[in-house]
Structures are given as C-alpha cells and as structure tokens.
Homo-oligomer: A and B are copies of this chain.
Amino acid sequence: MTVSYTLEVADARFGGFCKLLLRWKGSIYKLLYKDFLLFCGVYVFFSVFYRFLLSPKQQDLFERIALYCDQFTNTNFIPVLFVLGFYVTLAFNRWWGQYTNFPLPDNLMMVVSGNVHGTDERGRLLRRTLMRYANLSSVLILRSISTRVLKRFPTMEHIVEAGFMTTHELNNFESLHSDFNKYWMPLTWFSNLASRAREEGRVRDDIALRLLMDELNKYRGKCSLLFHYDWISIPLVYTQVVTLAVYSFFAFCVVGRQFLNPEKGYKDHKIDLYVPVFTLLQFFFYAGWLKVGELIINPFGEDDDDFETNQLIDRNIQVSMLAVDDMYQNLAPIEKDKHWE
C-alpha cells in the first residue's frame, strides 16, 4: 500500500519531520536493515581481523592499505553523491510520470453516462459494457507490468471469473493472433460498440460520438504510455554505473574506515571509538538514496510504497458502474439554493 504521510506534515511545526522518523512501514529502516546488518558484519570481521589476528608487521601493511582506501572514500574520488543525485531525479520523474498516466475511467464514465441514453435494459447494457471494456483494457495492461496484478489474475480465466470479461469475449479475444500485447482490443470493441450505439440512436448525435471517441483515445493513450514506460526503462548501463559506484564505495569503506591504532599517530586517527558512527550514517544516506531509486524505478511491484494497483482496479470498476448505471439520470429535484436572490 502506498504510504501516505502528508496529513501528518500538513503544518511545518516544531519538531517537523521528527515523527516521520519513527515509522516502520515503508520506512528506510525496513528497506535497509538487512543490507545494514551485512555491512556491519563485514566491518566487524575486518576489525577483529586487524586487531587480533595479524602480526604487528601485517598490521602495518593493513594500516597502509586502510589509509590508501580511506583517502578515496573521504574525498569525492568516487562520485557517489553526484551520480546518485542525477539518477534518482531521473527515476523520480519517471515514477511520477507513470503515476499520472495511470488510466482512470472517470472522464470516460461521465461522458458515457451523459451521452449513451436509455433507462431500459438495452441502455444499461450498452453503458455497462462500454465501461467494462475500458476497465478490461487497463486490467490487461496492468497484468503485464504489475506483479501484484499478475498474481491476482494469473490466467485470462481469472479475469473472466472476476467479471471483467464474458466467455464469448474471451474466445473472440483469443481468436486473433498477435505476437504483441493485445490490451488495445477491448478498446477497439469499445469504439465499434459506440459506433453501433450511434446507429441505434442511443447516442443522439455525431458530436456526442466524437466526444466518446476523444475520451477513448485519451484513455488508450494512457494505457499505451504505461506499457511503454515498462518496456523502455532507464538504460541498464546507467543503473549499473550507479550501483557499482555505491557498492564499491562501501566495499572500500569496510577497510578504509577501520579505526587504526591511535598510538601510531596516523593523521585523523587520534581516537578509537570501535563503532564507526559516521560511516554507518553514510551508509544510511547513500544506500538509502540508492534504495529510493530501486523503490521508484518500478512502482508496480510489491513494496510498501508501490502503487496499489489492485485497489485501483477495484475502485475503477466500482465507480464506473455506479456512474453509468445507478446514477444515470438519477438527479435530486432541482431546488433554489440557499443564496437565491
């Protein structure tokens, strides 16, 4: 489930974001604790190794290696920060783009409700079927990009069972062979059915039909864009460069950030704190930022903070049906409002 926290930070108050730090669900701690433990483990291993297992001469060599490593983790030698900043910004824009292109049937249902007429069974059937086609299409596209939706509808039969499709339609759907995703087929049905409704006079004029087609095209455009966002991701090379930068940074940290014997008077090694507080904090920041990237590069997974696709599918079909069926021409009596005159 998407983790919403805007209400808690509605006001910029004393303490501010403090309370956000104490959440577990969708938090950085939950995402990172395993990697953190691994990092600590390796650090402790090297620490013990250096302190107890090496001969003085070996210690000396270790110290020189550690100093060498440290030299590069302290400066901007490995450009972790910069690369991460650019990468996460890119990923974030894609992430928001995917969200805003999630196909919502709200415009379509309003248009269907206002322009496909008839309170009889045929009218209801037309309106419900049109909206069902629109929702079916988004289910088909989401199945191919969201692991959550695929789990819910592992086969086409599950979609039929859930009432998004009839058996006849499934047959029709499967009788056409295409090597590519066929999510656009129900939308073509929509277009054809709207055309037929116009012939039957259920859609009263050409302009209303055009309105239906325009909204349909916008809806299809969003489905299509979602499909392409999934198909064309940030080039693998870019992701690899970023990952390598972060991982190698911390690989050198486990050696370079060891506390060396303060008595040997190495520069910046005046004190032995055992716990490398700063390095651990750095781990939180850098690895945390990389995790942000991992999290948002595919928002259709099953992370705490990924989009609630299944919930959205339910919402969409429910409000679609409400709007075109229950609410069709169901108006409260029009009265003068309070401020009349």
Determine if B79 and A285 form an interchain contact, defined as CB atoms under 8 angstroms apart.
Answer: yes
Q: Which of B210, B295, B329 makes the CB contact (< 8 A) with A192?
A: B329
8 interchain pairs (CB within 8 A)? Answer: A4-B233, A6-B145, A31-B237, A89-B90, A114-B195, A114-B213, A208-B209, A252-B278
Bound complex: CA of A318 vs CA of B339, how far in Å? 10
Shortest beta-carbon distance from A130 to chain B in Å: 10
Task: Among B187, B239, B335, point to the contact of A110 (Cβ < 8 A).
Answer: B187
Contact-residue bracket for chain A:
35 or more
- A58 at the B interface (CB under 8 A): no
Provide the residues of chain B in CB contact with A297, threshold 8 Å: 6, 9
- Please determine whether B235 and A294 come into contact, CB atoms closer than 8 angstroms: no
Say whether A210 contacts B213, CB under 8 Å. no
- Which residues on B sit within 8 Å (CB–CB) of A295? 12, 235, 237
Supposing A81-B79, A114-B194, A169-B332 touch, asked if A11 and B292 sit within 8 A by C-beta, the answer is no
B244 & A21 in contact (Cβ 8 Å cutoff): yes
> Whole-angstrom distance between the alpha carbons of A297 and B4 in the complex?
12
Most chain B Cβ neighbours within 10 Å, of A16, A31, A88: A16
Beyond A11-B303, A12-B294, A179-B315, 9 additional contacts (C-beta under 8 Å) are: A18-B243, A26-B236, A111-B213, A113-B192, A114-B192, A125-B334, A176-B326, A245-B285, A252-B278
**CB contact list, A202-261 vs B, under 8 A:** 204-211, 213-217, 220-221, 224-225, 228, 230-233, 235-245, 247-248, 252
Residues from chain B with Cβ under 8 Å of A3 in the complex: 235-236
| A106 on interface, CB distance cutoff 8 Å | yes
Identity of the chain B residue whose Cβ is nearest the Cβ of A243 in the assembled complex: B17
Whether A35 contacts B14 by the Cβ 8 Å rule is: yes
Checking B107, B288, B337 against A132 with a beta-carbon cut-off of 8 angstroms, the contacting residue is B337
Cα A7 to Cα B332 in complex, Å, equals 47
Task: Known A235-B295, A298-B9; judge A81-B82 contact (CB<8 A).
Answer: yes
Closest to A110 in B: B191
* Chain B positions within 8 Å of A224 at CB level: 104, 106
Which B residue's beta carbon lies closest to that of A241?
B288
B193, B289, B330: the one contacting A172 at CB < 8 Å is B330
A139 beta carbon closer than 8 Å to chain B: no
Let me know if B168 and A236 touch, CB within 8 A. no
Known A188-B327, A245-B285; judge A6-B230 contact (CB<8 A). yes
